[in-house]
Amino acid sequence: MNAIQGTAVDIPTADGTADAYLAHPADGDPHPTVLLYMDAFGLRPRLTSMADRLAEHGYTVLVPNLFYRHGRTPVVELPEFIDPGARPEIFERIGPIMQALTPELAMRDAGAYLSWLAERPEAAAGPVALTGYCMGARLALLTAGTYPDRVAAAAGFHGGRLATDAPDSPHLVADNITAELYFGHADEDPSLPVEQIERLEEALTKAGVRHRCEVYPGAHHGFTQADTASYDRAADERHWDALLDLLKRTF
C-alpha cells in the first residue's frame, strides 16, 4: 500500500467555489484519477476515509462538496452515527438541498471538477474514473454521458432514480457513453425498483455500453456507508472488490 497525503482544496466553478478533499499517494508522481461523488449526507470523515483507501491503491482521488452553493462543509450538521429513521429531521434539512442540485447545475459543476483535475500535477494525463454513492451514482452516470471524452470508467453503488420516466432521467444519456460502467444495486431499495433496474440494463445494452449491473442481496440503500444505519459490511467489501477491479482494468 502507498503512503498517502490528504488535503482540503478549493475548486472554482461557474457559480462559486466548491470545497473538496484531495487524496493521493505521497510520492510526488502523477497517478490515475478518480472523481468520487458523495451521497446525500455530504463530505465527511467516512468519504475522506474512502478516498484515502483508494489513494493507498495508487489513485489520486477528488471528493467535492456537491452542495457548496449552500455553504462549505459541513453544509448540514450530522451526528457521528446517522440513523434517519430515528432522526427524520436530517432528511427534512437535506431534501431541499438535494432537489436544488439539478442535473444542469451538477453537470456544469462536473466540467469544473474535471478541468481542475486536468491541471493538477498529482493527476495523470488522460481520462478519469468516477465512483458515486446514492445520489452520487446518478451523477456518475450523467457525467459519463455528458463528458464521454473525459471518463474512462464509472461505478455507482446503491443509486436511486437511475432510470425513471422523467425527461432528464440519467439512463437517457446511455447513447453518449464510451466508458465501462459498473453498478451495484441495493436489493432493498425503494428508490430503485425492479422496473428501473431493468430499464437501465436495457438502455445500456441497447447503446452497446460495456457494463455490469449486479443486485446485492439483502443490502439496503446506503450499504457502503459505515457511519449510517444502512451499513452492510459484506456488501461494502463486495463493492470495494468490484470498484478496484474496474479501476485496475481501466488504468
Please identify which of the residues 189, 227, 232, 236 carries the catalytic annotation.
Answer: 189
Burial of 6 (0-12, 13-18, 19+ CB in 10 A): middle
- Distance (Å, rounded) from C-alpha 15 to C-alpha 97? 15
Q: State the Cα–Cα distance between residues 177 and 208, nearest whole angstrom.
A: 9
- Is 52 an annotated catalytic residue? no
Choosing from 185, 220, 221, 239, which is the catalytic residue? Answer: 221
* Cell numbers at 134, concatenated: 446514492
| Catalytic site includes residue 19 | no
24 is catalytic: no
Cα dihedral 84, 86, 88, 89, rounded to 10, equals -100
Cell of 122: 498529482
31, 57, 109, 134: which one is catalytic?
A: 134
Long-range contacts of the stretch 2-5 (C-beta < 8 A, 24+): 2/26, 2/27, 2/55, 2/56, 2/57, 2/58, 3/27, 4/52, 4/55, 4/56, 5/55
Any bridge partners for residue 131, and if so which?
36, 155
Measured between alpha carbons, how far is 135 from 222 in angstroms, rounded to an integer?
A: 10
Instruction: Tell me the catalytic residues.
Output: 134, 189, 221
